[in-house]
């Protein structure tokens, strides 16, 4: 009995001693927000600015880092259950990861003297990673487009749309009338016959960069002779992407693209909408991929188009457009009709059909077009 009592006494003293030690060394709450000169962030080894980071530590075992506006499609990505190591004073280090079936985000950082130095690694592991090209157009014996790189499907009660040059166009062609031209046929035929010759390749890299290889176009004539123009690659970091929940988010560095700041811009609302990335639905089938938007994804942009309508009146159009019958009023009518079509239709899908990239010296833009479109197209080229 005495031995049992002695054992309990020893355990009790050890317990209270450990509690006393904890009281002497309580966990420090490191919760804080970092941005500007208080944040030195690198993304895949390259310095990255214009974002912020939040650190939250509830206790020693629960610390979370939030990456704000860094990863496309995930405006507030949380990295939980960080491994935190306390240093002298209020300094500390941490590391952790956030992983799913499409991408991996690793973070490793240290806070010293109130400044957060953060290394972030981002890697896409989705099957979208790779080199892609626009699907080659297929035509029947009458040079009518059977399949195209343009995916366009519309189910609507709207009869027609005012399209510059062509005038009033029915939305879908009448299959009983040979050569009948509708909006879907026009866009699929023009896009399918011309775009593959202009955009040679899209490289979706595993580091989240999207690099496009394309021919620089300076005039309408270049559309039909793309191989005579320089082939260039888009700048690294100009377009980034991420894959999440069956969608690919495309984020464009608008300021780099325009070469100026977007602050106090009339289209600032649009810029805000683009900050988290443009979402596209993705369908993968072996070496084929379709990326597109549907009606629900288009609707938020319709309100932006309404805001832009008054600006069309102030546009200074090139004289060649006037010669072709393209005026400010016709452009304004087109935008109005697009808003009406999207808002009143039961289904609208618009996107691109792509295939795995293969070297091909054939110029896609040289393919024959249906007669009804060919005459107008070559008038534009002149």
Single out the residue of 244, 256, 296 nearest to residue 75, CA to CA: 244
326-373 confidence digits (pLDDT tens): 899 999 999 999 999 999 999 999 999 999 999 875 544 445 555 545
Does 64 share its domain with 167?
no
Cα angle value 171/172/177 (rounded, 5°): 130
Domain stop point among 59, 94, 124:
124
Does 118 share its domain with 139?
no
Q: Does residue 355 sit within a domain? A: yes
Does 39 share its domain with 54?
yes
Does 118 share its domain with 135?
no
How many domains is the chain partitioned into structurally? 2
Cα angle value 381/217/189 (rounded, 5°): 55
Does 347 share its domain with 275?
yes
Average pLDDT on 42-46 reads 96
The helix/strand/coil state of 355 is strand
Q: Does residue 81 sit within a domain? A: yes
**At 318, is the pLDDT very low, low, confident or very high (cuts 50, 70, 90)?**
confident
The pLDDT of residue 365: 46
Residue 284 pLDDT greater than 50, yes or no: yes
Do residues 320 and 159 touch, judged by C-beta distance below 8 A?
no
Does 62 share its domain with 147?
no
Domain carrying residue 319: 130-381
Does 314 share its domain with 253?
yes
Q: Does residue 109 sit within a domain? A: yes
Rg for the chain (alpha carbons), in Å? 28
Domain stop point among 124, 156, 176:
124
Tokens of 365: 């833009």
Q: Does residue 181 sit within a domain? A: yes
Q: Does residue 50 sit within a domain? A: yes
Does 190 share its domain with 59?
no
Does 242 share its domain with 260?
yes
Does 203 share its domain with 93?
no
The pLDDT of residue 294: 96
Does 75 share its domain with 150?
no
The pLDDT of residue 30: 82
Q: Does residue 134 sit within a domain? A: yes
20-30 confidence digits (pLDDT tens): 444 455 667 78
Q: Does residue 85 sit within a domain? A: yes
Do residues 78 and 62 touch, judged by C-beta distance below 8 A?
no
Measure the CA–CA gap between 198 and 316, rounded to whole angstroms.
26
Helix axes 295-312, 328-344, angle to 10 degrees: 160
Do residues 376 and 166 touch, judged by C-beta distance below 8 A?
yes
| DSSP secondary structure, 80-126, as one string | -S-EEEE-STT-EEEEEEEE-SSEEEEEEEEEETTEEEEEEEEEE-S
Does 190 share its domain with 62?
no
Domain stop point among 105, 124, 143:
124
Residue 179 pLDDT greater than 80, yes or no: no
Q: Does residue 13 sit within a domain? A: no
286-297 confidence digits (pLDDT tens): 999 999 999 999
The pLDDT of residue 13: 46
What is the overall mean pLDDT for the chain? 83
Average pLDDT on 213-222 reads 80
Q: Among 9-18, 131-140, 141-150, which stretch is predicted with the lowest mean pLDDT?
A: 9-18
- Those residues with Cβ within 8 angstroms of residue 374's Cβ, 6 or more apart along the chain or in another chain: 368
DSSP 71: E
């Amino acid at each position: 009995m005495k031995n049992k009592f002695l054992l309990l006494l020893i355990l009790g003293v050890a317990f209270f001693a450990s509690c006393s030690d904890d009281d002497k060394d309580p966990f420090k709450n490191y919760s804080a927000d970092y941005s500007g000169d208080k944040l030195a962030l690198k993304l895949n080894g390259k310095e990255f600015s214009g974002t912020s980071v939040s650190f939250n530590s509830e206790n020693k075992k629960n610390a979370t880092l939030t990456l704000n506006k860094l990863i496309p499609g995930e405006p507030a990505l949380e990295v939980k259950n960080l491994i935190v190591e306390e240093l002298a004073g209020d300094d500390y280090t941490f590391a952790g990861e956030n992983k799913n079936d499409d991408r991996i985000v690793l973070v490793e950082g240290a806070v010293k003297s109130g400044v957060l130095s953060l290394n972030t690694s981002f890697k896409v592991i989705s099957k979208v990673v790779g080199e892609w090209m626009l699907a080659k157009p297929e035509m029947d014996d009458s040079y009518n487009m059977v399949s195209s790189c343009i995916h366009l499907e519309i189910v609507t009660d709207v009869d027609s749309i005012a399209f510059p040059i062509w005038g009033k166009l029915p939305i879908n062609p009448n299959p009983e009338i040979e050569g009948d031209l509708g909006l879907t046929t026009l866009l699929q035929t023009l896009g399918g016959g011309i775009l593959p010759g202009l955009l040679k390749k899209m490289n979706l890299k595993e580091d989240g960069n999207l690099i496009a290889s394309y021919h620089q176009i300076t005039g309408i004539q270049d559309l039909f002779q793309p191989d005579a123009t320089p082939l260039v690659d888009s700048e690294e970091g100009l377009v980034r992407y991420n894959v999440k929940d069956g969608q690919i988010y495309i984020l464009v560095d608008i300021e780099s693209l325009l070469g100026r700041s977007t602050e106090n811009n009339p289209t600032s609302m649009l810029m805000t909408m683009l900050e988290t990335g443009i979402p596209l639905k993705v369908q993968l089938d072996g070496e084929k991929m379709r990326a597109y938007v549907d009606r629900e994804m288009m609707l938020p942009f319709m309100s932006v188009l309404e805001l832009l309508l008054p600006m069309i009146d102030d546009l200074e159009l090139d004289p060649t457009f006037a010669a072709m019958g393209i005026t400010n009023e016709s452009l304004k009518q087109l935008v109005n009709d697009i808003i009406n079509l999207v808002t009143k239709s039961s289904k609208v899908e618009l996107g691109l059909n792509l295939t795995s990239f293969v070297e091909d010296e054939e110029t896609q833009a040289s393919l024959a077009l249906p007669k009804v479109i060919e005459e107008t197209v070559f008038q534009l080229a002149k």
